[in-house]
Amino acid sequence: MERLLLQTKLYIPQTRVANLVPRPRLIEQLNEGLHRTPSVILISAPAGFGKTTLVSDWLHQNKVPTAWLSLDEGDNDPTRFLTYLVAALQTIAPTIGADVLAMLHSPQPPPIEAMLTVLVNDITTLPDHFTLILDDYHVIEAKAIDKALTFLLDHLPPPLHLVIATREDPPLPLARLRARDQLTELRAADLRFTPDEAATFLNEVMGLSLSAEEVTSLESRAEGWIAGLQLAALSIRGRADVAGFIKAFAGDNRYIVDYLVEEVLQRQPEPVRNFLLETSILDRLSGPLCNAVTGQGESKARLEALERGNLFVIPLDDKRHWYRYHHLFVDVLRVHLMEEQPDRVRTLHQRASEWYEQNGSAAEAIRHALAAKDFERAAYLIERAVPAMRRSRQEVTLLGWLKALPDEVIQCRPVLSVHYAGTLLQSGQLDGVEDRLRDAERWFDPMANMGEMAVVDEAEFHGLPGWIAIYHAGMALVRGDVAGTVTYARRALDLVPEADHLGRGAAAALLGLAYWTSGDLETAYQTYAEGMARVQRAGHLSDALGCAIALADIRLAQGRLREAMSIYERGLKLATEQGAPPPAVRGAADMYVGMSELLRERDDLNAATQHLLRSKELGEFAGLPQNRYRWCVAMARIRKVQGDLDGALDLLDEAERLYMGDFFPNVRPVAAWKTRVWVAQGRLGEALGWAREQGLSAQDDLSYLHEFEYITLARVLLTRYKRDRTDSPLREAIGLLERLLQAAEEGGRTGSAIEILVLQALAHQALGDISTALLPLQQALTLAEPEGYVRTFLDEGPPMAQLLREAAAREIMPDYTGRLLKVFKAEPSSSEGASPLPASPPLIEPLSQRELEVLRLFKTELSGPEIADELVIGLSTLRTHTKSIYSKLNVNSRRAAVNRAEELGLI
């Protein structure tokens, strides 16, 4: 049944030739739209202007390969929308979007933009152009879908021509498309029948014999509105006083529809009239369904007769099994039904719900049960449907159903209450989670008088206590209640059966995250590793790869780089094994990001960059890395090493926008990384502003969760001392570093300890006390050598080189210091503190007008994405312009580009 309903959404309407009015002027406009590359055609007009008929006629005249998707209110769930979009595209090529469908149904789908990237790449491989029709786009209200379509418009692949038919302009970047000459628009003024078209329609299509004067009068009163003319024609049939009817025919479109539908209904035989009213509750019509709803037979023949009579019945498949009423017509039919037979409406919806349940369409069965306000039945159907809905990631639709149920209905269904809580938590809607968990918990209190319980699956009910504890643990972790998380996660492990690998894996993972947040890293690692193994055993491969990222992060904090690399390598092998699903391939992209960070620390910048590029390639194939912001941070750190500090900041700005909080502790916030770049740029004011915004001071109580920020604060204080030459910042930094070192050593966080010791050495060096400086430096070198640390020392620049020379002179770890000094000598000068670039010769190739506009905005504080928005261009286009500017000016950063352009008088 679901497949049959899907086919009705993908069906290209077949308007009978006898019903068509030739409209060559509009067909020509549509054909011209196809000559744009890429091309978007917007057909925007109120109901009844023939949008769908026009597009159908155009497609059949031109035989253009076409994918068609008819939208309805249920498509506001992003997962469902994307599923149907792929299904439509697969009518062009069966393999398009296969990986996207696999991602959609994975336990942890990537963002929609990432999946659309995969879809765009699939479409790009097609050899022939085709058209995608999105019909009735006005029913879409979900901002996530508007955002997804905007992404598609910004990356429209050449083979695809997009047509959007809608009653109102969608919230899409239409102005940008107009500016690029990529948009063809047809509106109500274009779609109205001309007098000649009206005459053809009324006399030839509708079979009337009106005089030219009567046609003109009727057309002028309807103002070319096609639905109005069709309703008028149906009312005129068999009427003696045509002139009197036309004279009375006036008013706005809504009034005309109400008036004319009533006229049409009154002229129908009673059985036909009752059929129209009773079946108006249905979005789609078939003979068997209408038989069930009306309680009578012969519905198939009735539908065929209505279509032949042009009574606003539209076929939805070639075999005429499924139909729908015109939207305007059905709206008025429903009003009449409510006015004339209000007591019948509930029964009609109940019959429809029962028919859909028997025929395997849970979603439609639930929708009609809710419409009937038969909440007990709806709750029963929803409880049965929950597992499939959550597996297919349709949380938006599921939450809509659950929120439509009265509280008293949910409260007597403990299984549904727990599913409700889990869906809210998974969707990031925390309000109501604990209320629903308490509703379920009452059923396990022997002292509570709860009345009669409703349960679909008894076994699922008996397993609820473990999942209740898991969701409580998740809520505690989100609130930052580490002790509560530990308590509930341990309770879950006591309750969840040994055979339930997913439940035990979730509980162990939450427990590990709690230990990680508190800084107990070794316990966190062991517990989280157990969770990863369980999740993997349950078949949730992409979740297991997400666990690998966390385990490697923990090892990095412990200073165990080699183990972290092994974790990433094992994860990569797992993700790329033969037969791994696309979500796992996406996990491979994340493994490459982590490996890149480790290679950067080893000073293998070329390999680090190549790993990020490989991650990007995989991201374009299977969705961007699961944690996209991490890719930006990793590339920013490479840019910083290369001296491109402006480029690093642009990437960190993007990382900040991409970051989405989850259960992982945010132990290295992007804002702190940005502050470190500001320090390198000498922008002390911004760095101090960050410290004030975060409420950080050297005297604060310390916690592991904010350790990275306090180490960053120490860097800010050292930089302030160098600028102001007052003792206070330096003393504050030294005191803060001493406390940080003690905490890191007690927590076994060797990675943090190495950086803290390096900063202690630089602080004492700043005081001129080289002997004292060498003590923490020796400790840092001792901890760092076995794991192959390099950049941690090199990134500190000339002061560290001087200290290493002092250490070498005193034979402190001579082999290691020798290797580091050798790398220092090979280190190219960074853009900060280096000699000015030699004067470049005049430009061989001039900058374009657009490149000059980009250059002028480089002088502002706008980030890369903000510049792209200002110029109404895509981020990828901005990168292309930037690359060209750098090449022409022989520079490698925004600041250098601005300086060079000013030297040449270009800006």
Please state, in angstroms and rounded to a whole number, the distance separating the CA atoms of residues 34 and 168. 22
- Adjacent-strand bridge partners of 131: 66, 161
> Is residue 893's pLDDT more than 60?
yes
* Dihedral of alpha carbons 426, 431, 433, 436, sign: negative
The yes-or-no verdict on residue 619 having pLDDT over 70 is: no
Average pLDDT score, the chain: 86
Q: Select the more confidently predicted residue: 680 or 35.
A: 680
Residue 832: the pLDDT is 31
Residue matched to tokens 């022409």? 888
Cα 335 from Cα 456, distance rounded (Å): 37
Distance CA 518, CA 515 (A): 5
Closest by alpha carbon to 877, among 156, 240, 56?
156
pLDDT reported for residue 329: 78
Phi-psi region of 451 (alpha: psi -120 to 50; beta: other; left: phi over 0): left
Structure tokens at 345: 């409406």
The size of the chain, in residues, is 907
Least confident of 175-179, 293-297, 626-630: 626-630
- Token pair of 133 as six digits: 């029709």
> Quick one: pLDDT at residue 587?
74
% of residues, the chain, pLDDT over 90:
46
Q: Do residues 316 and 289 lie in contact, with contact meaning Cβ atoms separated by under 8 Å?
A: no
pTM greater than the 0.85 cutoff: no
Beta-carbon-side half-sphere exposure of residue 603 (alpha carbons within 13 Å): 18
Bridge partners (DSSP) listed for residue 43: 165, 186
Residue with the bigger pLDDT between 506 and 621: it is 506
| Residue 839 pLDDT class (50, 70, 90 cuts) | very low
Q: Is the pLDDT of residue 611 over 80?
A: yes
Q: Is pLDDT of 18 > 50? A: no
More confident residue, 545 or 834: 545
The structure tokens listed for 905 are 């008088």
Phi, psi of 44 (to 5 degrees): -125, 115
Q: Which of 639, 538, 596 is nearest to 894 (CA)?
A: 639
Confidence of residue 181 (pLDDT cuts 50, 70, 90): confident
| Cα(823)–Cα(801) distance, integer angstroms | 10
Q: Of residues 812 and 454, which shows the higher confidence score?
A: 812
The Cα 51–Cα 525 span in angstroms is 60
- The predicted-structure confidence for 848-859, as pLDDT tens digits, reads as follows 777 888 888 888
**Separation of alpha carbons 345 and 358, rounded Å:** 20
Edge-first strand listing for the sheet containing 313-315: 285-286, 322-325, 313-315
Q: Pick the closest to residue 678 from 636, 627, 726, 737 (CA basis).
A: 636
Confidence of residue 5 (pLDDT cuts 50, 70, 90): low
CA distance 778 to 770: 12
For tokens 């991201």, the residue is 619
- pLDDT digit string, tens, across residues 248-267: 765 555 566 676 677 777 77
The answer for residues whose C-beta is within 8 angstroms of residue 714's C-beta and 6 or more apart is 698, 733, 736, 737, 740, 756, 759
Angle at 319 between CA 315 and CA 325, to 5 degrees: 15
Question: Is the link from the previous residue into 865 a cis peptide, with omega within 30 of 0?
Answer: no
Q: According to the model, what pLDDT value does residue 194 have?
A: 87
Q: What angle do CA 425, 428, 432 make, to 5 degrees?
A: 55
Q: Averaged over 578-590, what is the pLDDT? A: 64
Condensed to tens digits (0 to 9), the pLDDT of residues 64-121 reads: 789 999 998 889 988 899 999 999 999 999 989 888 888 787 766 777 887 888 888 8
pLDDT at 37 over 70: yes
> Is pLDDT at 622 greater than 90 in this prediction?
no
The predicted structure's pLDDT at residue 778: 97
What is the rounded average pLDDT of the residues 149-158? 88
Q: Which of 90-104, 376-390, 703-717 has the highest mean pLDDT?
A: 703-717
Band of the pLDDT at 579, cuts 50, 70, 90? low
Helix (H, G, I), strand (E, B) or coil at 894: helix
Helix (H), strand (E), coil (C) string for 779-800: HHHHHHHHHCCCHHHHCCCHHH
Q: What pLDDT shows up at residue 841?
A: 46
Residue (of 709, 881, 899, 714) closest to 796 by Cα position: 714
pLDDT for res 837:
30
Which residues fall within 8 angstroms of residue 155, CB to CB, at 6 or more apart? 116, 117, 120, 874, 876
pLDDT score, position 102: 81
Q: Is the pLDDT of residue 395 over 90?
A: no
String of DSSP letters for 744-757: HHHTT-HHHHHHHH
Of residues 883 and 605, more confidence is placed in: 605
444 pLDDT band, cuts 50/70/90, is: confident
pLDDT, tens digit, 9 for 90 and up, residues 415-438: 999 999 998 988 888 889 999 999
Q: For position 672, what pLDDT does the model report?
A: 97
Stretch 461-480: mean pLDDT: 92
When pLDDT is cut at 50, 70 and 90, the band that residue 726 belongs to is: confident
How confident is the model at residue 831, as a pLDDT?
33
Q: Which stretch of 443-452, 605-614, 736-745 has the lowest confidence by average pLDDT? A: 443-452
> Which residues lie below 8 Å from residue 131, measured CB to CB, with a gap of 6+?
34, 59, 64, 65, 66, 67, 160, 161, 162, 163
